[in-house]
Amino acid sequence: MTALHIVPAGPAESAVLSALYESAFGEAWAPDQLAQLLAGPGVFALIGLDDAGVPAGYALGRVAADEAELLSIALLPDHRRRGEGRLLLDALMERSAAAGAATLFLEVAIDNAAALTLYRAAGFREAGRRKGYYKVGTTTVDAIVMKRELAPG
């Protein structure tokens, strides 16, 4: 496993985040939308750079009061299943705790086995369900809401 070098990202990196999102999910999240989101209160992003300094993944989160939410996390396909997703997730949890969050929430598609494995291994537990939360083509997929307590930052 190569270790990612994780760096903070802001609105200026929105095009990089957009490209990573599209490579990971096959759909676009416009750079201007990401820049607006990143300019909002409590929102932050982390980019994982590979050994050559090339962006390989990101994590996007938001902290409000004592709660945080993982908004999105992704790795380029050739960086998956190498422990790098866990590095990004751990960095997001540390950043959230340092900002005062005691609990981190996320939603994950019920059929995303790889993500569910990652989150459960990181100590997340199911807290609820959202029916038809994700649109996949002409159908919908339920989301599992998960949460994890964070160590004080």
The residues that are catalytic are: 107, 119
Q: At what angle do helices 113-121 and 84-98 cross, to 10 degrees?
A: 50
First-last CA distance in the chain: 27
SS3 149: strand
